[in-house]
Amino acid sequence: MSDPRITIIGERLKEISKIVAVSSGKGGVGKSLIASTLALTLARKGYKVGLFDLDFTSPSTHIILGVEGLQPKEEKGIIPPQVHDLKYMSIVYYSGEQTLPLRGADISNALIELFAITRWNRLDFLVIDMPPGISDATLDIIRLVKKINFLIVTTPSKLAFETVRKLARLLAELKIPIIGVVENMKIKDSPFIKQQVECNDLNFWGEIPFDNKLEESLGKVDRLLETVFARELKEIVSENLKL
């Protein structure tokens, strides 16, 4: 007995130049906002970009992007709809706003299904909004997506960084590249996270100040890209990805 879907996943991703999995050790650090804004920033720079929300039990990128009433097209698989210059895929096309109570094995199966049927075609970047922390889903995505790169988001809190350290250690053991760590929601001037990142032989990408205007921009992409948050992220991304 073989699961035929597994062998086709590499084929579905083969025309993607770079896959960036935006991840965090714990929830609530702004991972989905960074994933969405990163994807939008790259798309506005003229790259072909996909955004894949794989946080199945708590998807939120559709709210950030203001996606409503869209459905993927069927064409020998699923073609992700174009949303604000991005190819955008999320389980909410199927679950709507309803709760999706999935256990680990179900999440794995749904992940495999979506990777096997989604046709991204040629992309410069596929940005993945990862489920937070180290879970079955995280381990499955690492297993299924061979050329994955992690971008880890943390807050200035010791509590958040402690979970980042564990995630980073796991990724290092699995020989998965971590392209950088972003410190989000910075309030006080403190070198703590930068020092910790560098102590752990990781690449500190930069810091983004806490932006109290961000909430008002949810669902309004042009407004979002004008926020301090988005402008800082754009600078960090341009510098670190050498764009």
- Where does this chain bind other proteins (CB under 8 A)? 1-8, 11, 74, 76-78, 91, 94-96, 98-103, 106-107, 109-110, 113-114, 116-117, 119
Q: Which is nearer to other proteins, 37 or 108 (CB)?
A: 108
Tell me the torsion sign for CA atoms 233, 215, 160, 208: positive
Q: Which is nearer to other proteins, 99 or 191 (CB)?
A: 99
Q: Which is nearer to other proteins, 76 or 122 (CB)?
A: 76
Q: How far is the CB of 13 from other proteins (least distance, A)?
A: 14
Q: How far is the CB of 12 from other proteins (least distance, A)?
A: 8
Contacts of 93 (CB under 8 A, 6+ apart): 70, 71, 72
Q: How far is the CB of 202 from other proteins (least distance, A)?
A: 34
Q: Which is nearer to other proteins, 117 or 139 (CB)?
A: 117
Q: How far is the CB of 119 from other proteins (least distance, A)?
A: 7
Q: Which is nearer to other proteins, 3 or 201 (CB)?
A: 3
Query: Beta partners for 90?
Result: 53
Q: How far is the CB of 8 from other proteins (least distance, A)?
A: 4
Task: Check residue 156 and report its DSSP letter.
Answer: S
Collapsed DSSP state (helix, strand, coil) of residue 210: coil
How many Cβ atoms from other residues are within 10 Å of residue 225's Cβ? Answer: 18
